[in-house]
Amino acid sequence: MRIFGIVLAAGQGTRMKSKRHKVLHPVCGKPMLGYVVDRLEEVGADRKVVIVGHGADEVKAYLGERAEYALQAEQLGTGHAVLQAASLLGGEEGATIVICGDTPLITAASLEALLTRHRESQAACTIMTAILDDPTGYGRVIRGTDGAVDRIVEHRDCSEEERLVKEINVGTYVFDNRKLFEALGQITSDNAQGEYYLTDAVAILRSRGETVAGVPLDDPDESLGINDRAALAEAERIMRRRIARRHMLAGVTLLDPEHIYIDEDVQIGRDTVIYPGTVLGGKTVIGEDCVIGPNADIRDCTIGDSAAVRHSVLEQSEIAAGVSVGPYAYVRPGNRIGERAKVGSFVEMKNSSLGTGSKVPHLSYVGDADVGQNVNIGCGVITANYDGVRKHRTVIEDEAFIGSNVNLIAPVTVGRGAYVVAGSTITHDVPAEAMAIARERQINKPGYAARLKSRKRQQASAAKPPENT
């Protein structure tokens, strides 16, 4: 049986109070629409059609060629939205999953269970449902005496008796594709909202004697649809808990999972320990036996085995095995830090390479630089890379020693094994094995400090306002 997917993503989402399209708001680092499309791919959907309307260009830019698109120019309800896919899928044979783009918590396992029930019951439609203690606002699933789904009634259209029903429609369905589009051609907008409801297609199928099945979710959390920022925060909390559990079951130690924030696409190796206050974002990959945190903010980085990152910010950089970063380092985008290197306290790096075994222990800026192996960069060293118009590179070759408070004015090269004396400002290349000194000669003036202090006292006394008499 071929499987198709129709994702409803045309609504404006006004309750989000946002310039961003609702389905593009991230949950644990990934737009909620991305989760929905991922789930369809995981269950083997042959074709995926996303119904777009408001923000169509942004949705298409995000998904690209992962899906086909159908435009719902005027939002006239869920049934009308699905009908826009008729030109793409109307003639296909198979099962079609219809799912909302704002339901990121639905799992592939739940969709598989829905498909399985659909096949086994030979249903025309199978509905995903949930049992909620408070079903207010949700469409109610009304079952017949045989236990099959008889109809779905939107909350605003429910009778008093129907509002007592706690089984709700999640908004995710599997239809026989041909029967879906046949039923959609018969629905009307005769309801409180004047819209074409997809749920009316269910009633039409049932009236024809077709089987309509319902599958309750094991975890009602999966039913959460995100319509406002409060629901977005709730989805983030639930997803973060899932992600944390997944990593812990895979052998990662999270010392306080409620205060560690890990995005969906992050990968972490076994026996790595994550301390509280840590944020791991984007497509970060962390190796085994690492120590991360406390209070590390790492985004889109690759970190090798046995590395340690404490109280530091790292972005879009490659950190090799055995590296030590922090505390309070800022590793900006474009860095490549070699094995067993050290980036110490209050060090900032940008678009640079640091070779194996090299050290920048503290209070230095290394930008647009190529640093070789086993280099020592002393406290307060600055690579002056910007001339006000262009960036220039600094090259420090293997086993060089850069003393404290050195300014390296790029473009400049310090040769292999060279020494640069503390306090120097280097404007010319330093040959290999040479020692560079570039600072003014010290002059001592005996007794001058006492005369200077006396002069300052006299100036202060002369500047003092007279006392009132």
Residues 217 and 316 occupy one common structural domain: no
Q: Tell me whether residue 294 is in a domain.
A: no
Residues 153 and 21 occupy one common structural domain: yes
Provide mean pLDDT across the span 198-215.
91
**Range with the lowest mean pLDDT among 49-53, 187-191, 212-216, 270-274?**
187-191
- Give, in degrees to the nearest 5, the angle at Cα 185 between 179 and 189: 125
Boundary of a domain, candidates 190, 205, 223:
223
Q: Tell me whether residue 234 is in a domain.
A: no
Q: Tell me whether residue 93 is in a domain.
A: yes
Task: Quote the DSSP letter at residue 441.
Answer: P
β pairing state of 348-350 and 330-331: parallel
Q: The CATH number of the domain where 70 resides is what?
A: 3.90.550.10
Q: Report the candidate in 378, 371, 376 with the shortest Cα–Cα distance to residue 395.
A: 371
> Is pLDDT at 285 greater than 60 in this prediction?
yes
Q: Tell me whether residue 16 is in a domain.
A: yes
Burial of 442 (0-12, 13-18, 19+ CB in 10 A): exposed
pLDDT tens-digit map of 155-173: 888 899 999 999 999 999 9
Gap between the Cα atoms of 340 and 17, Å rounded? 48
Q: How confident is the model at residue 468 (pLDDT cuts 50, 70, 90)?
A: low
Radius of gyration, alpha carbons of the chain: 32
Residues 6 or more apart whose CB falls under 8 angstroms from that of 113 comprise: 215
Q: For residue 323, what are the CA distances in angstroms to 68, 287, 290, 294, 361?
A: 45, 12, 10, 16, 12
Residues 196 and 336 occupy one common structural domain: no
pLDDT tens-digit map of 97-122: 999 999 999 999 999 999 999 999 99
> Is pLDDT at 193 greater than 80 in this prediction?
no
- The confidence score (pLDDT) of residue 137 equals 85
**Is 155 annotated as catalytic?**
no
Boundary of a domain, candidates 178, 201, 223:
223
Q: How confident is the model at residue 467 (pLDDT cuts 50, 70, 90)?
A: low
The residue with tokens 């006239």 is 76
Provide mean pLDDT across the span 341-348.
98
Q: Tell me whether residue 53 is in a domain.
A: yes
Q: The CATH number of the domain where 364 resides is what?
A: 2.160.10.10
Looking at 155, 362, 392, 428, which residue is catalytic? 362
Question: How many domains does the structure of the chain reveal?
Answer: 2
Q: Tell me whether residue 302 is in a domain.
A: no
Residues 28 and 156 occupy one common structural domain: yes
- The confidence score (pLDDT) of residue 461 equals 85
Boundary of a domain, candidates 187, 206, 223:
223
Provide mean pLDDT across the span 455-467.
82
- The confidence score (pLDDT) of residue 157 equals 84
Residues 62 and 165 occupy one common structural domain: yes
Residues 321 and 178 occupy one common structural domain: no
pLDDT tens-digit map of 286-313: 999 999 999 999 999 999 999 999 999 9
Task: Quote the DSSP letter at residue 55.
Answer: B
Residues 16 and 137 occupy one common structural domain: yes
Burial of 88 (0-12, 13-18, 19+ CB in 10 A): middle
Q: Report the candidate in 89, 19, 18 with the shortest Cα–Cα distance to residue 51.
A: 89
pLDDT tens-digit map of 227-271: 999 999 999 999 999 999 999 999 999 999 999 999 999 999 999
Q: Tell me whether residue 246 is in a domain.
A: no
Q: Tell me whether residue 279 is in a domain.
A: no
Domain extent, residue 39, equals 3-223
Neighbour count for residue 139 (Cβ, 10 Å): 25
